Chain A
Amino acid sequence: MTKSSGTILNAAKPRPRRGEAQEGPSSLRSPLAKVLGQGSAKEGVQHWWAQRLTSIALVPLTVWFVVSLLSLPSYDHTTIVAWMGQLWTAVFLILLVLAATWHSQLGVRVVVEDYVHGSGTKTLMLTLVTFFHVVVAVAGVLAILKVAFGGAG
């Protein structure tokens, strides 16, 4: 090892000095990336953008949900069914469940990616997280639709 505190890669191949010819005028790719030549990591801005879109949607949706729920006169079955039977309640509830499960999936995914190590465990966890969120979303939407269509007695 050299005396520099760089990584193994830096130690093996010293950085080009200032003024030394670089490969390409504005290349942002590391030497390792060029050698491996694997292209991008298969996803770019989609995760970030979906997280932002769902968070913007969830600001009014969650505030509406909390306020509506706390404004209900009681929580017996008749009251809840009457509330969920209103068209716009059902619409906003479905949007809430879809946006929240999507947002949650994206967030939990990042936490798993950051804290779970070992590619096998990580892949397994990510698969379970995705499946679980899909089940929650489908169950939630179907329950709302059933009540909205008058199927809850």
Chain B
Amino acid sequence: MTERPLSPHLSVYRMYRYTLLTSILLTRATGIALSVGLILLVYWLVAVASGPAAYHDARAVLSLGVLKAVYLILLAAFSCHLLAGIRHLIWDTGHGIEREQAKRSSLLLAIVSIVLFVGLAWWALHAGGRTP
């Protein structure tokens, strides 16, 4: 039972040849990351609802340096998961599911995700703090 390969079958496929598999695996991993991000979002919403004093305390926690790295990871996860999700929806219509098309779209996905992430990260680093 425990010896069975896990899905997706990492031990069977050769990753470096399978950009497609990598992108699908990344969709799962980034999805889990965004689920963690959801906890942070709701923590922030609850802090806002709890009044100015509670929000002040929560903001001190949410401004920690460690969490800033987490926000960047979440932005990267968002860029990747959003675009991969849109590709999944396109796949559902029956388009782009040939092997070569899927390999090419995986490469395109990686490039566009990185561009989107860099744009969002640049915006995020320049947002908000203008009037501290």
Q: Do A and B come from one complex?
A: yes
| Contacting pair A136 B128 (CB below 8 A) | no
Q: What chain B residues lie within 8 Å of A56 (beta carbons)?
A: 89
| Contacting pair B55 A77 (CB below 8 A) | yes
Number of interface residues of A (CB under 8 A): 41
The distance in angstroms between the C-alpha atoms of A75 and B131, with both chains bound, is 9
Q: What chain A residues lie within 8 Å of B50 (beta carbons)?
A: 152
| Contacting pair A101 B89 (CB below 8 A) | no
Which of B46, B49, B55, B78 is in CB contact (< 8 Å) with A62?
A: B78
B39 within 8 A of partner (CB):
yes
| Contacting pair B1 A74 (CB below 8 A) | no
Within residues 118 to 153 of chain A, which ones have a CB less than 8 A from any CB in chain B? 136, 139-140, 142-144, 146-147, 151-153
Query: Closest CB of chain B to A97's CB: distance in Å?
Result: 7
| Contacting pair B78 A100 (CB below 8 A) | no
B34 within 8 A of partner (CB):
yes
Which of A55, A108, A151, A153 is in CB contact (< 8 Å) with B89?
A: A55
Residue among A72, A111, A143 with the highest chain B CB neighbour number at 10 A: A143
Q: What chain A residues lie within 8 Å of B28 (beta carbons)?
A: 107, 111
B130 within 8 A of partner (CB):
yes
Say yes or no: A108-B35 contact (C-beta < 8 A), given A147-B49, A152-B50. Answer: yes
| A contact patch SS | helix
| Contacting pair B41 A140 (CB below 8 A) | yes
A15 within 8 A of partner (CB):
no
Number of interface residues of B (CB under 8 A): 40
| Contacting pair A73 B92 (CB below 8 A) | no
Say yes or no: A70-B127 contact (C-beta < 8 A), given A108-B35, A143-B48. Answer: yes
B45 within 8 A of partner (CB):
yes
Within residues 36 to 88 of chain A, which ones have a CB less than 8 A from any CB in chain B? 52, 55-56, 58-59, 62-63, 66, 69-75, 77, 80-81, 84
Say yes or no: A97-B42 contact (C-beta < 8 A), given A104-B34, A114-B6, A117-B2. Answer: yes
Give B residues with C-beta under 8 Å from A: 1-2, 4, 6-7, 28, 31-32, 34-35, 38-39, 41-42, 45-46, 48-52, 55-56, 59, 78, 82, 85-86, 88-89, 92, 120, 123-124, 127-132
Listed by A's residue number, 20 A-B pairs whose Cβ atoms lie within 8 Å are: A52-B89, A52-B92, A62-B78, A66-B78, A66-B120, A70-B127, A74-B130, A77-B56, A93-B45, A97-B41, A107-B31, A114-B6, A139-B45, A139-B46, A140-B46, A142-B49, A143-B49, A144-B45, A144-B49, A147-B49
Given contact pairs A75-B128, A140-B45, enumerate 7 new A-B contacts (beta carbons under 8 Å).
A62-B78, A77-B52, A80-B48, A108-B31, A117-B1, A142-B49, A143-B49
